[in-house]
Amino acid sequence: MPSNHSPQAEVATSLRQWLSAIAVAISAFAFVTAEVLPVGLLPQIAAALGVQSGVAGLMVTVPGVMAAFSAPTLMILAGRLDRRNVLLLLTAVLLASNVVSAASQNLATMLVGRAMLGAALGGFWTLAIAAAARLVQPHDSARATAIILTGIAFATVVGVPFGTFVATLISWRASFLATGGLVAIALVAQAFLVPSLPSVAAVNVTDFISLAHRRQIQLSMLMIALIFGAHFVTFTYIAPLLLQDFTINEMTLLLLAFGVIGFFSNAILSVAATKRLTAFIAGLTALLLCAIVMMMLFEHSRIGESVAMLIWGIALGALPLLFSMWIQRTTADLLEAGSAMFVSVIQVAIAVGSAVGGVIADHAGMNVDFLAGGGLTVVGLLILQRLSNVRHGIVETPVRQGSEQSVD
């Protein structure tokens, strides 16, 4: 009797393959922890380096700028190099950046270390997202992507609160060194578990030009930039705001709660959102808007700010994964180029958002900062509505290789 299953479905993903995806997830955890570490340490670092919090926010802006350039540039320069070796090199650069940051005695040296992080970050995310499907059997590619992007959720659960906790016990420099130790573990895990990943095809400039001319890609990238920008305009400077109403230990617990609820949001919605991607992105973006508005309306209310942070955590726990799924579906024929463009857009949003947020926070106050973030979120929702009306073939499951179709 003939089988009803395809040959691909009959081949189970091996334990070694799942471990390779977990190894990359550990690296993702290390990268995100290092990237957002200054958010919880901003007041301490600013005081130690003798600058205002808004200026210290350059520690978030500079990596974003570097990552935006490094994502497409590295993919072009990498050519046909084995992607495993490139991942190892980028993780080693991340380790060095944490050492430089920990040893910094002034803002300039700190920004050098943060620029090293950014240079590695853009390439890592591009390769990690594109490689997810190659680490496991094809039918498990979505789960592998979810596992790797879970590193983001773990970083918000453990990474940022842990960094703040270490800074409280010892110093903010110890937080960077502890993160460096985490990066070293990630480097070893990759070296032993990630298999050779020969380049399928070299990425070239024409691939990016091809994607940039597609209307659906243009709108998708703009939507993602606005929503991520809304988050980083506001969240980068959340620590000084919370410290007006919470002790540093209470703020650490609140950031931990933010991360925990974000982790569960990621875990649950990575499965539930597969067939209703547009609806889930809209719902989570609306939650982000709700959280930003609540932070304005319930200023200095400990209960109001706590609830707003939990709602914020639900939204940000899953949005990066859902946006990644969106881009994979709309750039399936040029996946590495699409991933690089996706990473660049996010990093530009982080860089511009944190920089603009710093200027607003220092000169106009946090309420105006939240107002700006809320406005960006609304525009992002309007563009998502526009995208939902683009009906070039509805997709309820991942697209086939070689075709561009709209998501659900």
Q: Find the range with the poorest average confidence among 194-203, 216-225, 272-281, 303-312.
A: 194-203
Within 8 A by CB and 6+ apart from 133, the residues are 141, 144, 145, 335
Count structural domains, the chain.
1
Q: Convert the pLDDT of each residue in 101-137 to its tens digit.
A: 888 888 888 888 988 988 888 788 777 777 777 777 7
pLDDT-derived band of residue 164, with 50, 70 and 90 as boundaries? confident
| 160 assigned to some structural domain | yes
Specify the pLDDT at position 407: 54
Neighbours of 133 (CB within 10 A): 18
Q: Convert the pLDDT of each residue in 214-270 to its tens digit.
A: 888 889 999 999 998 898 888 877 777 888 888 878 887 888 788 788 878 877 876
For residues 264 and 75, which has the higher predicted lDDT (pLDDT)?
Answer: 264
| 5 assigned to some structural domain | no
Specify the pLDDT at position 2: 47
Compute the distance between CA of residue 362 and CA of residue 43 in angstroms, rounded to an integer. 13
Cβ(129)–Cβ(328) below 8 Å: yes
| 61 assigned to some structural domain | yes
pTM of the model: 0.71
pLDDT-derived band of residue 10, with 50, 70 and 90 as boundaries? low
Cβ(233)–Cβ(373) below 8 Å: yes
| 144 assigned to some structural domain | yes
Specify the pLDDT at position 360: 82
Q: Find the range with the poorest average confidence among 111-115, 181-185, 279-283, 394-398.
A: 394-398
Specify the pLDDT at position 282: 92
pLDDT above 50 for 213: yes
| 268 assigned to some structural domain | yes
CA atoms within 13 A on the CB side of 183: 28
What average pLDDT does the segment 288-295 reach?
92
Specify the pLDDT at position 93: 92
Provide the CATH number for the domain around residue 114. 1.20.1250.20
pLDDT above 90 for 44: no
| 77 assigned to some structural domain | yes
- Mean residue pLDDT across the chain: 79
Q: Convert the pLDDT of each residue in 135-159 to its tens digit.
A: 777 666 767 777 777 776 677 667 6
| 404 assigned to some structural domain | no
Domain that includes residue 95, residue range? 14-388
Amino acid at 313: G
| 397 assigned to some structural domain | no
| In the chain, % of residues over pLDDT 70 | 86
Q: Most confidently modeled of 58-67, 123-132, 296-305, 392-401?
A: 296-305
Joined together, the tokens standing for residue 315 give 């939204």
Compute the distance between CA of residue 90 and CA of residue 131 in angstroms, rounded to an integer. 15
Specify the pLDDT at position 283: 92
Q: What is the 3-state secondary structure (H, E, C) of 117-152?
A: HHHHHHHHHHHHHHHHHHHCCHHHHHHHHHHHHHHH
Compute the distance between CA of residue 43 and CA of residue 40 in angstroms, rounded to an integer. 8
Q: Find the range with the poorest average confidence among 1-5, 233-237, 318-322.
A: 1-5
Q: Which residue has the tokens 């499965």?
A: 271
Q: Convert the pLDDT of each residue in 348-407 to its tens digit.
A: 887 788 778 877 877 777 778 888 889 999 999 999 988 877 644 434 334 333 344 445
Compute the distance between CA of residue 71 and CA of residue 74 in angstroms, rounded to an integer. 6
